[in-house]
Structure 1
Amino acid sequence: MASFSFRMNSHTIIFLIIALPRSMAILDAHYYDQTCPQAENIILETLRNASLYDPKVPARILRMFFHDCFIRGCDASVLLDSTPRNKAEKDGPPNISLRSFYVIDDAKAKLEMACPRTVSCADIIAIAARDVVTMPGGLYWNVLKGRKDGRVSKANETINLPAPSFNVTQLIQSFAKRGLGVKDLVALSGGHAIGFSHCSSFEARLHNFSSAHDIDPTMDSEFALNLRKKCPKPNKDRNAGEFLDSTSSSFDNNYYKRVMAGKGVLGSDQALYGDYRTRWIVEAFAKDGGLFFREFAASMVKLGNVGVIEDGEVRVKCRVVN
């Protein structure tokens, strides 16, 4: 059962408290209150500074959180570097484009100076994922903390990440394996409000889509032509791509309005409006930004509980096990 309370100012701020089953009781919003009370301020300040120099940092940190939790649960296994004997998650094909690991490294280094061996890398990612949503005027929720860092990271397990070409059935199945429902799928897809994607993730929709259509017919035609200019074939610019929302500098519900208009960049985004199981939720979130905020916060807390481990460690450096 979730309970919500609200405070309205120039931005909507949502405080979320979740009463968890006993098996999940290791997580607590006040976990560091006594041992490292400055932890969240240190993480937020690090993120703010990094985002000033690179506006793609928020999108990259939020994606990092999803990709971490979807493999072995929220255990910071995505941060571990490969070794001569093991290829780690960050070097798996879907994660090659993950960036901004240095931001987590910077936050961890500052936390080690303030509170040695106290704040886990898994908690840093979870807190940072909340902060990058809060910074552009989105929403705030209490992050439950107390995660431990895992010691295993395998690149071949990244095959289990949902692909940008997935249809709704595939997406539902992928989320269900993590204990997440259809509402969570649509709500968490709203994280694309501050997302960015390289051409490689959606260019199949723009060129030789099928024997009958050169361009994916679910795309707005003018929008598709603009994307083709940014992602020509062949494309020599590996960094070329598109923000997943036209208002990517702010966290809002405009993403859903664009999906309804045929302007979803990824095939998996546009698919949400083409399937009866998810279409009504897209419409509800497009109509009511407050509803989207509430459901996104609840789903982020739920995602943050996936695969939490009790027998891990608190890494001194996030890239290597102790």
Structure 2
Amino acid sequence: MLGENQTEVREFILRGFYINSSAQPAIFTLILIIYILTLVGNMLVIKLVWSNVSLHKPMYIFLGNLSFVEIWYTTTTVPKILSGFLSRNNLISFTGCFLQFFFFFSLGTTECFLLTVMGYDRYLAICHPLRYSMLMSGRICSWFATYCWISGFLWSILPVSLISQLSFCRENEIDHILCDTGPLLEISCVRDFTIEVACSICTSSMLVATFSFTCISYAFIIQTIIRIPSSAGRRKAFSTCASHLTVVITFFGCATYMYVRPAGKHPFHYDKLVAILYTIVTPLLNPIIYSLRNKEFMKAVQKFIVT
């Protein structure tokens, strides 16, 4: 019976935003502009890191990987969000929904690992400057980046595969802007406690572990910065990790609100606002935050503009 019910739902309806029809063109245009700027900004970061020898350092190599993640992370959701403004029923196929869910979840997990590794890189640069080139060599940097990508995609297989096996026989309207864990569990025919707990543990453990490791790195960084005798030295040391810390707080703050919380009914209008922040706004802010607060990166931007 469950197998038959599963086949009844071949597509979902993403409800998206509840916006007055007169405001839809303006919102559509705003999201489209942000999406284009996100693509251009992150592509520029990748171009600069790739073409400038002065940026062939672990910090910028990780930043290039982060920008590549952001391009695809936002692309998994924003085009579908935009198409929802152009269609009466924002339909998405069963396969398309879970493909979006898998890539969105995988790329988000990859970003968590990358941000954690970037925090560790800053810890080595500030706390062990004399041994930094040995502890974070080009080979080790490449290994870390590869590990982040592989781990991010492997980690997402379990929750996505478990939820895809649920039956959706009564309701096919997802009250969200994308296919995600909570909304999909809400519309399943039977709430499977085992699957919910497994998905919650998988997501929460990853977020808690990566965020905790990042906090440990910054605890040692702050301890080292405090011991620097000159105020100019302290400002210089802190400036090298301020951009990363800003991104960490924004990204992990949103992710923790969405995924590290008790199961149950949650106001989806709040979830949609938070989802807008980490799917649309944050990918745009990342290249801006890193470029404006980094003199070496700004020099590369100026050189690129001049040439």
Would you call these one fold, judging by a TM-score over 0.5? no
Max Rg structure: 2
Name the structure where helix makes up a greater proportion of residues: 2
Provide TM-score, normalisation by structure 1: 0.29
Provide TM-score, normalisation by structure 2: 0.30
